[in-house]
Amino acid sequence: MAGGISSIGEKNLSTLLLRFLQCNRSDIIYANDEVEFIKDKYLKTRVKNLSKAQPANAVVYLNKMVGDKTELNHIIELLKENNIILTIDNSVEASGYCLSELDKDIKVNFYGPCFSFCYRKVPDEFKVLAIIHVYNEEDVIEQTTMYLLSQGIDVYLIDNWSTDGTYEIIKKLVNNFPQRVFGRRYPENERKDYYDWYNQLMLSENISKKLNYNWYIHYDADEYRVAPWKGVTLKEAIYYIDSLGYNLIENTVIDFKVTKRDDSSIFMKDTWFDFGHRKAHFEQTKTWKKCENIDLKQSGGHLAKIDDPKVFPLKILNRHYPLRSYEHANKKIFNDRKPRYMVENKTRGWHGHYNNILNGNDIIVPQQGLIKWTEKTFDELYIQLFTGCGIEVETENLRDSIYKLQEKIDKGCLVSIYGAGKIGKLIYDELSSEYTIEHWVDKNYKRIQPMFGRCIESPSEIINSESRVIIAIEDESIAKSVEENLINMGVDYRRMLWEKW
């Protein structure tokens, strides 16, 4: 398929089940058939026979060999209200999603309240606010604001001292919609010469704590977001998700590309796009329920970190138009952004996404290899768009470091991992098929959602363990600090391993 989308295959099916486990906060899979494509040693022990299934918080995997249609439908009706059900069957009369593998189609069907939107009248007192930081967005800011208002979302616009007409448009919008649109400049009294994104995100955190809204969205001026059910507004979708007990919503990001040297804007148009393929593109949680403890700034705005996160299984689609025309791209990259990004790029490693664009020729992306958005795209690519599964992911080259680790760990040895960030996820993914991961811990475990069917635990869990402890932290100074803390807690230093990533 086009645009780097991979076929269903065993890996993608496993990824889909793992996502549902993660979001359902469960580590049990009820199955009617062998689930040989699951390689994780721990997860293999959590697969139970379908005959033992109960209406509980679990994930149900039904292969097409379950029996006749009547029996299958009976199982679905019995379990779907309290579980997430995934079936693979071409004969079931249900609205499924086809994934292609070579020359055959496999129909994947989802059941359960998460997948069947049930309209519920949204109370007047239920309110959602989108917080948008803008700089020189005069060509799109009014269109974006009006779209959000039409979706039932109020808007808070923060101008970072734009040099075009953005701030004047904001003042007009505030005047026209005084109860729903708010605006200000930041910093309040004078402009900074560099882009201070860290403190802008801190401002968003403070706004979300002080204002009286039920949910908040960290939103960009150059995107528009789409609910995972057709004809459902963002406000209706968020209210429904809230009613099911979730407090965090992820995004799938698709970037629409400039494919010709043309000054006409592609913003909000059905043109050529590609999925993001870097790991960071699959870790975007920017919609959260109001809470006292919210952290946006540490992740550069990609992750809203809250206590006890409950992530909804389906994602909101972010149709992203960072470059809207050849003319806009030149101005944005070479005048508005690169000069102002330098400080935080050096101090925090942020804002490197335009580093590979060196001149105007790099702006144009050939249509070959991209995907054209059509009226069929929503349905044909539903799983990729709204679960994030089935997309090729670029992986960092850490193979040598992981090999060095494995050489130090005896076969059959129990392993524990300290760190649930980028490195920890990669290590778990690589080692879980060969070693039993006894514990996976992180000091911020209360703010980390379950991953790979595992709940992240407190570091205290490894004190009395005999497992080898891999410190999955990239920064050597932080890794040494973790090692010292573990030693002070009573963990034998000879059990600990760290490699330079």
- DSSP assignment, residue 121? P
Confidence of residue 175 (pLDDT cuts 50, 70, 90): very high
Q: Decide: 151 and 234 in contact? Cβ < 8 Å.
A: yes
* 434's tokens: 């060969």
Confidence of residue 64 (pLDDT cuts 50, 70, 90): low
Three-state DSSP state, 84: strand
CATH: 2.60.290.11, 3.30.565.10, 3.40.30.10, 3.40.50.720. Which one for 399-497?
A: 3.40.50.720
Which of 56-70, 99-113, 407-421 shows the lowest mean pLDDT across its residues? 99-113
Q: Is the dihedral of CA 453, 455, 459, 460 positive or negative?
A: negative
For residue range 257-277, what is the model confidence (pLDDT) as tens digits? 999 888 899 999 999 999 977
For residue range 445-457, what is the model confidence (pLDDT) as tens digits? 988 888 888 889 9
Question: Of all residues in the chain, what percent carry a pLDDT higher than 90?
Answer: 47
pLDDT of residue 52: 78
* 368's tokens: 């070959």
Three-state DSSP state, 13: helix
**How many CA atoms are closer than 13 Å to the CA of 387, on its beta-carbon side?**
25
Which of 91-105, 126-140, 424-438 shows the lowest mean pLDDT across its residues? 91-105
Count of all residues that appear for the chain in the document: 501
pTM of the model: 0.87
Asked whether residue 102 carries a pLDDT value surpassing 50, the answer given is: no
How buried is 45 (Cβ within 10 angstroms: 0-12 exposed, 13-18 middle, 19+ buried)? exposed
In degrees, rounded to 5, the angle at the alpha carbon of residue 342 between the alpha carbons of residues 341 and 345 is 85
Q: Which of 432, 417, 423, 421 is nearest to 398 (CA)?
A: 423
| Average pLDDT of the chain to the nearest whole number | 85
Q: Which of 445, 490, 483, 448 is nearest to 465 (CA)?
A: 490
Q: Which fold has domain 128-387?
A: Spore Coat Polysaccharide Biosynthesis Protein SpsA; Chain A (3.90.550)
Instruction: Return the domain boundaries, the chain.
Output: 2-111, 128-387, 399-497
The DSSP secondary structure of 17-65, one letter per residue, reads HHHHHHHTT---EEESS--TT---HHHHTTEEEGGG--SSS-EEEE-GG
Confidence of residue 99 (pLDDT cuts 50, 70, 90): very low
